[in-house]
Structures are given as structure tokens and as C-alpha cells.
Amino acid sequence: MRRLLVTGGAGFIGANFIHYVMAHTDFQVTVLDKLTYAGHESSLKGLPPDRLTFVHGDICDEVLVDALVAGVDAVVHYAAESHNDNSLAAPLPFLQTNIVGSYVLLEAVRKHGKRFHHISTDEVYGDLALDEPLRFTEHTPYNPSSPYSSTKAGSDLLVRAWVRSFGVEATISNCSNNYGPFQHVEKFIPRQITNIIDGIRPKLYGSGENVRDWIHADDHSAAVLLILQRGVPGETYLIGADGERNNKDVIEAILVGMGRPADAYDHVTDRPGHDLRYAIDSSKLRTELGWTPSKADFAAGLAETIHWYRDNEDWWREQKAATEAKYAAAGEQLAGAASRQGR
Ligand code: NAD
Ligand code: TDX
């Protein structure tokens, strides 16, 4: 298996995966990416041109997908509409890309008999209570909360059906929250880092007790490559690095890491349906495939990420104002301000 088609390779995790593959294998990679607001071809800058082909196109384009799948050994499917807040404002692109696009890819790998790896999320399992020791496993029932997570759950179920009904050789991985370089400034960690750089106070949704299980994108990439090479078709693997932290602790760590007082942030209106806690039990991946995270030190990873955004303003500057305008248009305001205005 030396020729990969990577969908969504100009996005955050896809780009990190391609950097990882270029550094750790001799594979040839073709990227298929629509370059939505979330895609940046510049994230692939500097990679060897003789091993990387970039195709600007849509995973819903059956003719294009068929031709590209025919020419590779395996498909790694990252392309998605990925942001929960956007899915609350406008769900339709999520159905189109995450469900119809995944269907188009599945039909192509079925026709050409190619290996498929589907990138999914822990959000398909819904959320956990704050005060329970439970974590998600491969056996946790699906219970998605948002338009985004429900379309990811739908795409996972399509993959399972294509395995069972048509014998497609597919694996699925469900990973927890990623952080690292090349992440869009709409997402929690880069939004706050770039807010602080711009002199804007960081924004914490609701009380900030919500817990996310953070993993560095490089550890996610290592796990995906391992599953592609040694995973058992038909199986699902959960990926997580035991990185549970609540949002309040993360925002305070970012502020302190950037030399600001830990309390220099604002509470803003909470996300509707905001999942409380995600937590991954990745025992299967660790025991069956021998994966361990090598960047599990969150403080070190966060410091490196802050450094990256400080050094790469050219990469994110263009997206920043439009992203903050989108949040303002969606009605984000200081917590309590809505009720004060209503009085
Ligand atoms: P992202 O939004 O940063 O990137 C998505 C990429 O897909 C972009 O380059 C975009 O241009 C491309 N794309 C969107 N629609 C397309 C289409 N119709 N055709 C072709 N390309 C299209 O997303 P991300 O955070 O890198 O997430 C990548 C994948 O990983 C997604 O499937 C997501 O569900 C999954 N995931 C993300 C996280 C996380 O923490 N970000 C965690 C677990 C799983
Ligand atoms: O400004 C903010 N303030 C805030 O408190 C933003 C943008 C977010 N938050 C909170 C909401 C979440 O509890 O931070 C947490 C993380 O938010 P996001 O970065 O939007 O991520 P999340 O909704 O947890 O989903 C992410 O992880 C799972 C990815 O965006 C998904 O693609 C992935 O499937």
C-alpha cells in the first residue's frame, strides 16, 4: 500500500497527517480538497512535489472521485464540515459533505476494491456526566447531539453497512479533540490564542466546566497510519491520549502561557445542546496495535501550539476577522447581556 488518496488534506488534521506521512513513509499522496473556508493549500507548502499531487475538487463529484480512487491503493477520508457551531447555524452543508460525500467515496472504493479508512469523532457517542468514571469505548451506543455529530454518526453507519453488505475493506477511527498547528481559528484553542494576540479577551462558553479529551494532531496521525497498515478491516478503533481537561482550565493555561492574568477572559452565551464531557478509552488501539501517544504532555504541546500561531500569523490572519464576524452574527454575547437587554 504505497499510493494514498487523502480527502480533506488541506484541512487541519488532514494536513498534519500528510506532513506525518511524508516524514515517516515513502508513500505517494493525492489530496482531494474542495478548499472551503476551512481548507488551506498553504498548509501543504514545502512538501516534496514528486510525492504529493493536489486536486481541487468535491468529494460529492462522482466522476472525479471514481477516477482518483481508481489510481490509488487506499483512501483516507478526512474531508468534512467539522465545526459544531456552524452546524447549528446552517446544517445542510454538513448533510451534503459528511453523508452524501462519504457515500460517493464508499461507492468508488466498492467498485474498485480499494482499502478505505474513515476518520470520525468521539462526538458520535454523545456526552458523559462530569462526575462519573465512564469513558467511551468501541461498544458505547451512538447518541449524537448536534447536526455535525449526527452527520458523522450517519457516515460511520454507512461505512459499517458497506462493510457488511458489500464486503468493503474499511476501518473507522473515532478520535477525541485535536489541537496543534494548522487548526482553523474558529476552533476553541486557536481562537483564544489569536484573540490574545489581537488584544481581544478569550471567550468561554457558559460555565466552562465542559470537558474535552485533548490529543495532539501528530498522535492522531500516528494512530491512523498504524490502523491503515495493521488494522483489521471491519473494525473500529477509538483514539485518545488520556487528555481530559475542562475548558476553563484550558483557557487559563493559554492566558498564563501567553503572559496574561489567568482570569482575563469573558463568559459568553453557551452553545445550544453543548456536550458536557467527552472521554476516550483507547485500550483496544494500545493493546491490539501497540499505539502509544508520544505528545501526551499537554502543557508542552500547548506551548508549542502558541508558538506556532505567534510565528505563523500569515497563515491565520486572513480568516480571523471573518470568523469573529460569524460568531457575532450568530448572536454570541457576554453571558448575562441577553437578559440585561431584555429588561
Ligand atoms: P477542517 O474543517 O479543518 O478541514 C476539513 C477539510 O475538508 C477542509 O480542507 C475542507 O476544504 C475540506 N472539505 C470540506 N468539504 C469538502 C468536500 N465536499 N469535498 C472535498 N473537501 C472538502 O476539519 P478537521 O478538524 O481537520 O477534521 C478533519 C476530520 O477529522 C473530520 O472528518 C472531522 O470530523 C474529524 N475529527 C476532527 C476532530 C477535531 O478535533 N478537529 C476530532 C475527531 C475527528
Ligand atoms: O470560543 C469558544 N469558546 C468555548 O468555550 C469555542 C469556539 C469553543 N468553546 C468550547 C466548546 C467546546 O466545549 O470549547 C470546547 C471545544 O470547542 P470546539 O473547538 O468547537 O470543538 P468541539 O465542539 O469539542 O468539537 C471538536 O472536537 C471533535 C471538533 O471541532 C470536531 O470536529 C471534532 O469532531
Question: Which sequence spans correspond to the domains of the chain?
Answer: 3-178+216-239
Nearest ligand, CA of residue 120? 1
The residue from 33, 58, 122, 275 that is catalytic is 122
Q: Is 132 annotated in the active site?
A: no
Ligand 2 pocket mutation pick from 98, 187, 216 by most atoms within 8 angstroms of CB: 187
Nearest ligand, CA of residue 39? 1
Q: State the closest ligand 1 atom to the C-alpha of 187, by its place in the atom list counted from 1.
A: 41
Parts of the chain with a pLDDT under 70:
337-343
Query: 3-178+216-239, superfamily in CATH?
Result: NAD(P)-binding Rossmann-like Domain (3.40.50.720)
Q: Is 148 annotated in the active site?
A: yes
Strand partners, 288: none
pLDDT at 1: 83
φ/ψ of 340, rounded to 5, equals -65, -40
Burial of 75 (0-12, 13-18, 19+ CB in 10 A): buried
Using a 6 Å cutoff on CB, does residue 82 contact ligand 1?
yes
Q: State the closest ligand 2 atom to the C-alpha of 274, by its place in the atom list counted from 1.
A: 13
Distance 8 CA to ligand 1 centre (A): 6
Q: Which residues contact 343 (CB under 8 A, 6 or more apart)?
A: none
Selection from 3, 113, 20, 9 nearest residue 59 by Cα: 9
Q: How far apart are CA 112 and CA 106, in angstroms?
A: 10
Q: Is 314 annotated in the active site?
A: no
Q: Which residue's alpha carbon is nearest to atom 28 within ligand 2?
A: 177
Distance 340 CA to ligand 1 centre (A): 38
pLDDT at 337: 61
The residue from 81, 123, 218, 244 that is catalytic is 123
How many helices and strands, by DSSP H and E, does the chain display?
A: 13, 13
Ligand 2 pocket mutation pick from 146, 186, 188 by most atoms within 8 angstroms of CB: 188
